[in-house]
Amino acid sequence: MSRKREAFAVILIGIGMLVLLGPYVGFFTIVALLLLLIGVIALRHGKMRKGYICLGTGSGLLLLDHLALVLGIGLISLGIFYVRANKAHGGQKYFSQQNFIKTVQYNRDPWMMRSISSWHAIGDIDCDLSLAMAEEPDTVLYFHGLIGDLDFTIPEEYGVEIEAHLLFGQIGFNPEHPMGMERRQGVLNRVQWKSANYMNSTQRVKLVIFYVAGDLNIRLSA
């Protein structure tokens, strides 16, 4: 679809939304929905910066005009987190935490790695597992939130299982070429993968990711 036709389609959709929703919602809600729509289209075309700006602005307007709606989405996400946490860890013991904003920078110094379930509205996660000192031979790292920027570097001697879901955003991962990066962009991104050496490895890690919107990069290092 050309840019002109795409813009025309957005205008038609916007007018249609205004006609249908005008009697029930305010001006800011219409603008917010249009920005969210433009953001989704931008992400589908690989325009990540524009997409995130539109999604962020649209979400902010919704927050101002529909605080209860945003709060409801957050509570639903938190409820799903609690349900999935036990399933992700398979009944094993784990450390659980919930924060509105979560920042993790384990990419410079050695750090202690333990099984964890973490929920947050906004997250910035950067973990280099080559620096990790694992407490157990099997570790589950479960991160769940609304918006996140996540980077993981995993050494090849680890047995790795990955289950990642993003409603909006991109996932960078290419197990066949560790030095490269295959990016999957757009809507409903999903990766499920298990390394061939998983069962025979002395150190195994399972990475579980669920976000409404985010940018996830996973690198397998030599």
The pLDDT value recorded for residue 82 is 75
Mention every residue, 6+ apart, whose C-beta is less than 8 A from residue 56. Answer: none
SS percent in the chain: helix, strand, coil, step 5? 35, 40, 20
**Dist CA 40 CA 51 (whole Å):** 6
What does the alpha-carbon distance between residue 36 and residue 68 come to, in Å, rounded to a whole number?
18
Q: 3-class SS at 127?
A: strand
What pLDDT does 4 receive?
60
Rounded distance between C-alpha atoms, residue 77 and residue 214, angstroms: 14
* pLDDT at 142 > cutoff 80: yes
pLDDT of residue 215: 84
Of 123, 124, 131, nearest in space to 107 by CA = 131
- Model pLDDT for residues 39-49, shown as the tens digit of each residue: 766 766 667 67
For residues 222 and 203, give the distance between their C-alpha atoms in angstroms, rounded to a whole number.
15
Half-sphere exposure of 197 (CA within 13 A, CB side): 10
Mean pLDDT of the chain: 77
Annotate 167-185 with DSSP letters as a single string. Answer: EEEEEE--TT-TTS--EEE
Query: The whole model's pTM is what?
Result: 0.67
pLDDT of 171 > 90? The answer is no
- 186 pLDDT band (50/70/90 cuts)? low
pLDDT per residue as tens digits for the range 47-105: 767 777 777 777 777 666 666 666 666 777 777 777 777 777 777 788 888 887 788 88
Identity of residue 219: R
Section 133-145 average pLDDT: 90
